[in-house]
Every structure is written in structure tokens, then in C-alpha cells.
Amino acid sequence: MQAVTTSWSGMMAARFFLGAIECGFGPGIPLYLSFFYPRHEVGLRIGLFLAGSALANAYGGALAYGLSHITSGIAPWRLLFILEGVPTCLLAIVTFFCLPDGPGKAKFLNEEEKKVAVARAQRQPRSQGFSGVNLRQFFSALRDYKSPLPTLPSPRPKKSRGHLLQM
């Protein structure tokens, strides 16, 4: 979607929707892994995911450098978005249909393995007495002045980088 934009506002709209769709991925990985692994084992898996993320960023940077030197009728940044985005979108469709909802629905496990995986996941310590969201605590967190501080912009002036994006 970003490759077909022709204005700065179009690019920002595309980036907004990408961020809105992507925002649950980081917190979703530990949650999804917790369906399969007990608490004392999930930390290693999350660490491996984060290490793989760092490797992917290194590979992505080298790939972007190479793709930016391709001469074609398409601007290099547009070509980069197309060549990195199309495989990602195709893999997302495949993953949607192949990734199981939990260990009990995993097609790659036989019935005995499913029972063991479900039993291992349910063996985790649970908080006692959870009865839903406490609205008083929720609104208390919203009123706390420290909650929005990390989202505020830095007081240091920053140079505009709008000139880097040439349509």
C-alpha cells in the first residue's frame, strides 16, 4: 500500500494503518507461546524470537541496501516496499490458515501429543480470584500523571526528515 502512495498524507495514512494492524504482534507472540509452554519454559522461546528479530533486522538492512541500488522504472523505495511487502502478505495468508489456535487444535500433533501439550499449558500457575476488569483501577491508571509521560515528545528539537521522501 505504501508503494502506491503519491503524497505525504497518503504515506502517513498507510503508515498509520500498518501500525494499527501491526501493534498487537509484539505482545501477541508471548501470549501465543504461553498457550504451548509453561511459564518457566516460555522465556527461552521469547528470547529466541527476539534474537531472530535482531537477525531479521540485520538481513533486512542488507537487503534494503541491495534493493536500493537497482535501477528500474520504479523508484527504489517503492521497489523496496513491493519486494519486501508482497512475500510478507502472502506468508500472512498462509499463516492465518496454518497456525493453530492452541495445542488442542494443532494439526501437526497426534492425539496423545495434543493431550500432553494441553495438560502442560494448563499446569501453569494462575492468579486466584480474577473476576474481570476492575473499572476503578482502570480509571485510576488513566488519571495517574505518570502514565502518559513515555508518550510525550522529547523536549529536544529534531530536524525534519521530510526531504528524504521524494515522491
Nearest to 32 by CA among 46, 53, 22, 21: 46
pLDDT reported for residue 160: 53
Q: What is the pLDDT of residues 46-99, one digit of tens each?
A: 999 999 988 998 888 898 889 888 888 888 888 888 888 899 899 999 999 999
End-to-end CA, the chain? 14
pLDDT at 144 over 90: no
**In the structure, what pLDDT confidence band is assigned to residue 128 with cuts at 50, 70 and 90?**
low
Domain-located, residue 146: no
pLDDT reported for residue 164: 47
- How far is 89 from 95, CA to CA, in rounded Å? 10
Domain-located, residue 158: no
Domain-located, residue 157: no
Q: Residue 162's CB: how many other CB atoms inside 10 A?
A: 8
pLDDT reported for residue 155: 66
Domain-located, residue 73: yes
User: Domain tally for the chain?
Assistant: 1
- How far is 2 from 46, CA to CA, in rounded Å? 30
Mean pLDDT of the chain: 83
Range of the domain at 84: 2-126
pLDDT at 30 over 60: yes
Domain-located, residue 140: no
Domain-located, residue 161: no
Higher pLDDT residue, 132 or 60? 60
User: 36 near 121, Cβ under 8 Å?
Assistant: yes
Domain-located, residue 116: yes
User: 76 near 69, Cβ under 8 Å?
Assistant: yes
Looking up cell 534474537 gives 51
pLDDT at 17 over 60: yes
Q: Which of 49-53, 68-72, 107-111, 161-165 shows the lowest mean pLDDT across its residues?
A: 161-165
Domain-located, residue 143: no
Determine the residue type at 90: L
Nearest to 67 by CA among 56, 81, 53, 54: 81
User: 17 near 1, Cβ under 8 Å?
Assistant: yes
